[in-house]
Structure 1
């Protein structure tokens, strides 16, 4: 299960955040701060996943990161979730962003949070990956957009 999903820029500003467990707001901020600090220590060529030995979220969890352009995609996952599966999930999210925004960048995340939130909500529900087919997700997002325009 995915516990936390963040998109953070290279200066450490959080652009998208999702907590899939009930976590107090002060604890959320603490987790976010530690994850951002962790990204600042890593180079883009660093290992993409490692155990949460410092207990940023929980010592039983693993942290998966991927760097694209100026954005870090970070997921905190439990011990049952596949690290490679989450790396593939992040790649799917980036591919979808490229299709939706035509060569996506940080500004697309910043200026279209509604589309980004819908994209992530279509893929991850309550910390569980429910859809990975890019065509199906694109179709669902188009239907949502059509319904919003018709209201």
Structure 2
């Protein structure tokens, strides 16, 4: 199960955070800072994109200047989560056309809606790219 998702830039500013288990507000602030500190110091050439953290695993991937970080149960498949991160970025790329950090900032509600289409209650709900894009485009027409 996915416990939370963080998207941060290289400087540690949060661009999106989604929690599927309860955390206090103070705990969320400490958590964001600690996770950024952990993953930003890692060497991507020589270290894997997942690490053990407390009683769970952090699976992350860096695209351009953004870190997409998923905290999952320790029993979850690391490679499946990495593939899910890539799937999420592919959908963002298809929807926004070469997605960048500014797209996440100015279209926060759309990014959140895309994430909600893919992940339901901490579990992967939809894995068909065409289906997700059709639903998001239908939501766009309602605006």
Tell me if both proteins adopt one fold, taking TM over 0.5 as the criterion.
yes
2:7 maps to: 7
CA–CA separation in structure 2 for the residues paired with 1:44 and 1:13:
20
State the 1:40 CA deviation.
Answer: 2.2
Once residues 37 and 50 of structure 1 are traced to their aligned partners in structure 2, the CA distance between those partners, rounded to angstroms, is 13
Counterpart-to-counterpart distance in 2, 1:16 and 1:141: 18
Instruction: Report the CA distance between 1:25 and its aligned residue.
Output: 1.1
Counterpart-to-counterpart distance in 1, 2:8 and 2:125: 23
1:126 maps to what in 2? 121
1:96-133 per-position Cα deviation (integer Å, ceiling 9, x unaligned): 11101111111111111011101111111111110111
Length-normalised TM-score, structure 1: 0.90
Give me the whole-angstrom Cα distance separating, in 2, the residues matched to 1:19 and 1:29. 13
Q: Distance in 2 between matches of 1:98 and 1:136?
A: 15
Query: Structure 2: any 5+ residue segments left out of the alignment?
Result: none
Name the CA shift for 1:92/1:10 in 2 (closer, same or farther; >3 Å).
same
Does residue 47 (structure 1) correspond to residue 39 (structure 2)? The answer is no
Q: 2-side partners of 1:44 and 1:113: how far apart?
A: 28
* Inter-partner Cα distance in structure 1 for 2:10 and 2:4: 18
RMSD over aligned CA atoms reads 1.1
Candidates 60, 84, 88, aligned match of 2:83: 88
Structure 1: unaligned runs, 5 residues or longer: none
Superposition misfits of 4+ residues, deviation over 2 angstroms: 43-46
Following the alignment from structure 1 to structure 2, what is the Cα–Cα distance between the partners of residues 4 and 35? 12
Cα distance in structure 2, aligned partners of 1:76 and 1:96: 20
Number of aligned residue pairs = 142
Deviation at residue 79 of structure 1 after TM alignment: 2.1
Partners in 1 of 2:123 and 2:62 — Cα distance? 22
Shift of 1:43: 2.9
